[in-house]
Amino acid sequence: MHRPLQFDTLSLPVPADVIVYTLDEWQKIDPSSRFGKMMQNEVKWVFQRSQ
């Protein structure tokens, strides 16, 4: 996907991965799955567009 390429992470003081989801995609992640639990525990929101 090309969505993460819109964010400049080179100026951040630490290495970072950018994962970009639409609200619909985010809501489809099973919160009880291994991936869902990891996302709940490790995600740091940096931007959320108002609806």
| Structure tokens belonging to residue 31 | 């919160």
> Which pLDDT score, from 0 to 100, does residue 51 have?
60
Q: Does a structural domain hold residue 51?
A: no
Q: Which residues of the chain carry a pLDDT beneath 50? A: none
Q: What is the pLDDT of residue 48?
A: 63
In a domain, 15, yes or no: yes
Alpha carbon distance 18, 5 (integer Å): 8
Q: What is the pLDDT of residue 8?
A: 73
Residue 50 lies in a domain: no
Two tokens, residue 11: 């100026």
Rounded to 5°, the CA angle 37-2-18 comes to 40
Predicted local confidence at residue 36, as pLDDT: 93
Q: Are 45 and 36 in contact (CB under 8 A)?
A: no
Whole domain around residue 11: which residue ranges?
Answer: 3-42
Structural domain tally of the chain?
A: 1
